[in-house]
């Protein structure tokens, strides 16, 4: 008798959710990818599904039949403090009712300012910003739900994303198209400080691995992240590959630039400390435990430039 492989449901079809859906298919899992529209390019092996997971009914419909649920939903920066707790409540309730394991894509925000100290899973949660405190409260609730035996939960924390499909990251839509077309490239804060970037393929591999390994549940893991270099060193890699100097525009304090408008930057201002102190992520725990290796930054930059090059060509 053959058993049907267990369904893995990914909530959120942004760069992380979409890359994760592809990774799970590659690993042989049936995948449902959920967002509010249920539309988007067909991905082989992925069922697209429309649901609003900020509502209890929408979340229940989205996770029906799933063995593992991945929460990769994010919302507009100005809506996060209000909306993310509602999504958490709905998703936790739905996953608990379904008896599914919950894998949560998380941020570094709960740590707050570290004065440049490397972040490990044991670093204190010192967030003082609205969004940082909100994320820390959500994480405390996730871990409490696990401790109380309501359901199995695991959190995967990522640094700033970089990679194909990543548009609204500090190393995304404002940087690569400008570099490729000879426009001024925005450089946030002090680009001579070490700053970790997590490759989107490693976000997906890390979350998929946590989804396959229940023995990792009940704690925070840092997703595989290449050793930190300065942002200037990362931009130097871009420069080497395109074969001409980048024209850098230093954004020393929060102000609108590129795809980031005034509303976004007003909300981002409280998080700008991430560009005025070193941001160093140590992901050695997940690398040791599950044998994962982060993609070298050189390869990450190559893949990202290739993707943006195709995107620009398609628009001309």
Does the structure show a pLDDT above 80 at 31?
yes
Q: What is the pLDDT of residue 3?
A: 66
Contacts of 5 (CB under 8 A, 6+ apart): 28, 29, 30
Q: How far is Cα 143 from Cα 153, in angstroms, rounded to an integer?
A: 7
The pair of structure tokens assigned to 164 is: 């194909």
CA atoms within 13 A on the CB side of 102: 33
> What is the per-residue pLDDT across 6-16, written as a single tens digit (0 to 9) for each?
999 999 999 99
CB 74 within 8 A of CB 14: yes
C-alpha pair distances (Å), 282 with each of 12, 46, 136, 288: 26, 32, 19, 12
Q: pLDDT grade, residue 2 (50/70/90)?
A: low
Q: Mind spelling out the 3-state secondary structure of 220-270?
A: EEECCCCCCEEHHHHHHHHHHHHCCCCCEEEECCCCCECCECHHHHHHHHH
- pTM given for the model: 0.97
- Alpha helices by DSSP H, 27-73: 56-63
Q: What is the pLDDT of residue 76?
A: 87
Q: What is the pLDDT of residue 256?
A: 84
Does the structure show a pLDDT above 60 at 1?
no
> What is the per-residue pLDDT across 171-225, written as a single tens digit (0 to 9) for each?
998 999 999 999 999 999 999 999 999 999 999 999 999 999 999 999 999 999 9
């Amino acid at each position: 008798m053959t058993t049907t492989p267990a369904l893995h449901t990914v909530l959120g079809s942004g760069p992380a959710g979409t890359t994760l859906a592809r990774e799970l298919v590659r690993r042989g899992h049936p995948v449902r990818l959920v967002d509010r529209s249920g539309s988007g390019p067909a991905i082989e092996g992925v069922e697209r599904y429309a649901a609003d997971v900020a509502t209890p009914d929408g979340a229940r419909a989205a996770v029906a039949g799933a063995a593992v649920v991945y929460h990769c939903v994010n919302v507009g920066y100005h809506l996060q403090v209000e909306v993310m707790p509602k999504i958490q409540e709905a998703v936790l309730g739905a996953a608990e009712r379904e008896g599914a394991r919950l894998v949560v894509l998380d941020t570094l925000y709960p740590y707050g300012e570290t004065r440049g100290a490397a972040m490990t899973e044991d670093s204190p949660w010192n967030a003082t910003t609205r969004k940082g405190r909100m994320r820390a409260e959500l994480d405390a609730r996730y871990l409490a739900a696990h401790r109380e035996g309501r359901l199995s939960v695991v959190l995967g924390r990522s640094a700033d994303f970089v990679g194909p499909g990543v548009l609204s990251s500090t190393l995304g839509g404002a940087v690569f198209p400008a570099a490729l077309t000879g426009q001024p490239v925005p450089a946030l804060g002090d680009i001579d400080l070490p700053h970790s970037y997590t490759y989107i393929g490693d976000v997906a591999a890390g979350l998929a691995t946590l989804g396959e390994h229940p023995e990792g549940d009940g704690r925070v893991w840092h997703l595989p992240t290449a050793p930190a270099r300065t942002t200037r060193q990362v931009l130097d890699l871009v420069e080497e590959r395109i074969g001409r100097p980048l024209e850098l525009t230093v954004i020393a304090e929060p102000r609108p630039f590129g795809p980031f408008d005034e509303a976004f930057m007003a909300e981002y201002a409280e998080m700008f400390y991430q560009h005025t102190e070193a941001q160093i992520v140590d992901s050695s725990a997940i690398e040791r435990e599950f044998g994962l290796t982060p993609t070298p930054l050189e390869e990450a930059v190559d893949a990202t430039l290739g993707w943006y090059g195709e995107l620009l060509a398609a628009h001309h």
